[in-house]
A and B are shown apart, each in its own frame.
Chain A
Amino acid sequence: TQLLEQSPQFLSIQEGENLTVYCNSSSVFSSLQWYRQEPGEGPVLLVTVVTGGEVKKLKRLTFQFGDARKDSSLHITAAQPGDTGLYLCAGGNSGYSTLTFGKGTMLLVSP
């Protein structure tokens, strides 16, 4: 059984601070996806990374896939209240149409 561990489980910061959240596994994935979910809504895809060592930037968000494709990180620069939400990572394997999800990191950014 493949598992994804996300840390921290909960993070509360002030507007303008930087933060990093992590997604770790003992298993190799062919792709890693990050989603953000707001209360009462479904997860919204932020990014998909597929190559070991890959770094993708989405405005103030930087995503990195580990060299061994077992872990990933999400770094947010100068966090804003609009970044508040549950950040989920999900690992995929090519040729098999299911994803393994972590429990998520709940981020609260206060003004």
Chain B
Amino acid sequence: ETGVTQTPRHLVMGMTNKKSLKCEQHLGHNAMYWYKQSAKKPLELMFVYSLEERVENNSVPSRFSPECPNSSHLFLHLHTLQPEDSALYLCASSQADTSVDTQYFGPGTRLTVL
């Protein structure tokens, strides 16, 4: 499945580093999402972009900064992260103006913060 791609697949960073996660969707969708997946917790929605505008920000710390330059690309900029931010970060996309919100996920970036 190559509809939604994410890079890098794995990332190890120190608490003082700055890095970015990239997501690209090839499905022609108009909405994109960032989720955090930690062990034994439900998927946590972080950000939603619809038609390139941020429509939801679920009380995410400011050390996470999203960017959506167009409907096909989504970035998550990371700086001064904490070890508890280590998780699988998933990107998804959907066609938001339909009656059923079916979301398609990328393979994720496994982030480890030392």
* Chain A residues within CB distance 8 Å of chain B: 4, 30-31, 33, 35, 40-45, 48, 50, 88, 90, 92-99, 101-104
Contact = CB atoms under 8 A, between A and B. Distances in A.
B101 A92 contact: yes
Nearest to A104: B42
A45 B104 contact: yes
Contacts of B50: 97
A43 B105 contact: yes
Interface string B84-114: 0000101010101001111111111010000
B56 to A, nearest CB: 7
Interface of B: 1, 4, 6, 31, 33, 40-43, 45, 48, 50, 55-56, 88, 90, 92, 94, 96, 99-108, 110
A43 B55 contact: no
A104 B16 CA distance: 34
Nearest to B56: A98
B94 A33 contact: no
B107 to A, nearest CB: 5
A31 B100 contact: yes
Given A40-B107, A42-B6, A42-B90, 18 more contacts: A30-B99, A30-B100, A31-B102, A40-B88, A40-B108, A42-B4, A42-B92, A42-B107, A43-B90, A45-B104, A88-B43, A90-B103, A94-B101, A97-B96, A98-B48, A99-B45, A99-B101, A104-B42
A103 B42 CA distance: 4
19 contacts: A4-B42, A30-B100, A31-B101, A42-B6, A42-B106, A43-B90, A45-B102, A48-B102, A50-B99, A50-B100, A92-B101, A97-B94, A97-B101, A98-B45, A98-B101, A99-B103, A101-B42, A102-B42, A104-B42
Contacts of A95: 99
B6 to A, nearest CB: 8
A83 B43 CA distance: 21
